[in-house]
Chains A and B, each alone.
Chain A
Amino acid sequence: MNALSIKNLKKTYSNGFMALKGINLEVEKGDFFALLGPNGAGKSTAIGIISSLVNKTSGSVSIFGYDLKTQNAKAKSCIGLVPQEINFNQFETVKNIVLNQAGYYGIPNKQALKNAEKCLKQMSLWDKRDTVSRRLSGGMKRRVMIARALVHSPKLLILDEPTAGVDIEIRRSMWKMMEQVNQQGTTIILTTHYLEEAESLCRNIAIINDGMIVEKSGMSDLLAKVNKDHFVLDLINPINEAPKIEDYECELINQKTLHVTVPKGKNINLLFQQLTEKNITVLSLKNKTNRLEQLFMDLVNE
């Protein structure tokens, strides 16, 4: 059984803007799935419809086999949502935010307290349970939203840019938490603008652009489609024009920086050998973009 099944989902807003043009998507149970796309592509609309925050125009959505329209309560019970923006009551304490959410899912108080303790400890927020939420840091607020989404033990967790605006240290700790949650059996759908995040966490991926799914495959299959690598070379000595090397595209960015495109299957040693022959010494080398980022750009610009 799929965790999520979307069929021909369309959404046209009242101003006539068609945000979704009939998307089809399936996410397997237990998956860690990335839903990527540029701003305005339709990701948030799709997530809004799945989590009942936006009314669809047509199509169907089912969650663990429950149709969102006809078996609404059962379908909703399976979902936990971590939205893009902070949306809890900033005057409530951390514990009350999580407990109230458990109450909305009909969980009795005794069980809710146990669940809240477990989720807050998992998010390293137990010490902050009696703190009024507006006094928390940005990273803690994000973790409160994850704890709140997990309090009813959802089978499907939707994370809409959960690490947006948090520093790298917190982001990495949140990655660990997400991995743990997924390992415990929760299916995760992640949207993010940090493509290295999607690349390192997710097993499957869909890219949405202009209201349509333009790519859907396994992460490794998708990355295998990358047919070029882009490198930036820092040179020790300045040069005045880009060297001409067969099979490699070289572009001089400035006198001491060279951009090289390496086709798939070509080895990088050959490049260095040719550069050495031309008396060009490389000080350091870095990837211009990561592989997923390059593919993403290619797909959305097609």
Chain B
Amino acid sequence: MNSFIAFYTIIKKEIYRFIRIWPQTLLPPAITTALYFLIFGKLMGDRIGSIDGVSYMNYIVPGIILMSVISHSYANVVSSFYSTKFQRNIEELLVAPIPNWVILFGYVGGGIARGLLVGIVVTCISLLFTHITVNNYVITISVYFLTATVFALAGFINAVFADSFDDISIIPNFVLTPLSYLGGIFYSVSMLPDVWQKISLANPILYMINAFRYGLIGVSDIDIQVSFIITGGFIVFLTLFSLLLLHKGIGIKN
């Protein structure tokens, strides 16, 4: 059994799926983020001035790019894997001699690919409004990739537990979106009262956005090392948990 071929088959199928439905997957983030840049960056940003010595437009660009990466890497895996369960295509995978890690990484790989592609689209849109010189390519690309991985894994777990289409929209609507907005996309946490600064530290997205902002424009409220440790920790935990779910067959067998 050649696991690489199985992995390649799953990831190719996943990429083909979201490219085939590009008006639903790639176009909306381009329009939404263009509006963010126009309204928050241009119209309001000019009145706000600068944060940490950076223009407001440039300050919000990293957060908006990463928010798109987060929501789309999550959405891709949760919708695709749940549809696979719902249509019972999952049986094609379960009857085949595919190791669980190949199934997991195949779907997560599809989510990462969509997250990264949407991130590139949003970055291109941002360049229509401002000019950014990347502060550190290694940090930028690694945070970009690691964040997509974390949320693709989270989307996979959501899909495993989901029993209906409602279940795959609850987490994005009621958890991910609020945490993204409260993760310092539009503001610096140092602007908040002490108690809210401390509460904000419990939000993992805050660490990712700040690390990405550091990589892109050299500004961060958080120690970058801590951001990498937290993101890496999430990846390890979510990967092991996903593999356990697949091994036990929870949500996909019986």
Task: Give A residues with C-beta under 8 Å from B.
Answer: 13-14, 51-55, 72-74, 76-77, 79, 81, 83, 85, 87-91, 100-101, 103-109, 148
Contact = CB atoms under 8 A, between A and B. Distances in A.
B158 to A, nearest CB: 21
A106 B92 contact: no
A87 B96 contact: no
Interface in B84-101: 87-89, 91-99
B6 to A, nearest CB: 5
Between A90, A104, A106, the greatest number of chain B beta carbons within 10 A of the residue's beta carbon is seen for A104
B5 interface: yes
Nearest to B84: A89
15 contacts: A55-B249, A55-B254, A77-B1, A85-B88, A87-B87, A87-B91, A89-B89, A91-B20, A100-B13, A104-B92, A104-B93, A104-B96, A105-B96, A106-B3, A107-B2
Contact of B91 (A73, A83, A108): A83
Contacts of B89: 87-89
A13 B254 contact: yes
10 shortest A-B CB distances, which residue pairs?
Answer: A103-B9, A106-B2, A104-B96, A73-B97, A87-B88, A76-B97, A106-B1, A106-B5, A51-B95, A81-B95
B87 A101 contact: no
Interface in B1-54: 1-3, 5-6, 8-10, 13, 20
DSSP class of A's interface residues: helix, strand, loop or mixed?
loop
Given A87-B88, A90-B87, A53 B95 contact: yes
B253 interface: yes
A48 to B, nearest CB: 8
Contacts of B5: 103, 106-109
Given A87-B92, A108-B5, A148-B92, 4 more contacts: A103-B8, A104-B10, A104-B96, A109-B5
Nearest to A52: B94
A47 to B, nearest CB: 11
B97 A77 contact: yes
Contacts of B2: 106-108
Nearest to A73: B97
Interface in B78-114: 87-89, 91-99
Contacts of A14: 254
Contacts of A54: 253-254
Contacts of B3: 106
A100 B5 CA distance: 10
B94 A53 contact: yes
A108 B88 CA distance: 25
Contact of A53 (B6, B20, B97, B253): B253
Contacts of A81: 91, 95
A51 B93 CA distance: 11
